[in-house]
Amino acid sequence: MDEKFYLDTSIIFGYFLKKVSELKGEVKSSKVAEFLIESKDKINYNVSILTKVEIVRKLKSEFLLDNTLIEKIWKSFILDVNCTEIEVNINVSELYKEILRIVSSIPIRKRVTNLEHLIIAKKKDLIFVTGDDEVLKKCKEFYPRIWSYKDLRRFYSNLNIG
């Protein structure tokens, strides 16, 4: 298990919705959740405090959850997927100088949160797995180790063949 992956927030929230889709009955199963659970013993998944911030914000503001349940949900995800919460010891000034370099070089339309994730992944030498098309298309010149969800699935598929 040499490669280590840093997950974006969308994929994690997709995992959270597995039970919702099951209860609703409209979707037979959650492909995202199935993939993460199936691959957890072969793929090293990582998240950061920034990931948690985004998840907590969403759960609190959109679903009005209380903090105790939010903490349990986060812990459940970490345990279910065998995920590591990495320590982020990055100098804030250094972080934003890197982001400034990116947004000064190429037009980035979306908010900078995914760029913050990107720099965390870079500093920790992790492969950033994201569904953000803009990051996938425009940011590889700053950090080539950016993969789409499909790239991750392909990697896992090859692990099983090899």
Partner 1 sequence: MKSEELTKEEREEVWMEFAKIVLKRLDYWKKHNPKKYREFWREYRKLEKAFSEDLK
Query: Which residues contact partner 1 (rule: CB under 8 A)?
Result: 10-11, 14, 16-24, 27, 30-32, 34-35, 62-65, 69, 71-73, 75-76, 78-80, 131, 148-150, 153-154, 157
Nearest-approach distance from CB 94 to partner 1, in angstroms: 30
97 or 154: CB nearest partner 1: 154
Nearest-approach distance from CB 108 to partner 1, in angstroms: 20
Taking alpha carbons only, the member of 55, 51, 48, 14 closest to residue 34 is 14
71 or 125: CB nearest partner 1: 71
Nearest-approach distance from CB 93 to partner 1, in angstroms: 33
CB 4 within 8 A of CB 46: yes
Q: Which residues contact 110 (CB under 8 A, 6 or more apart)?
A: 132, 134
The 10 Å Cβ neighbour count of residue 113 is 14
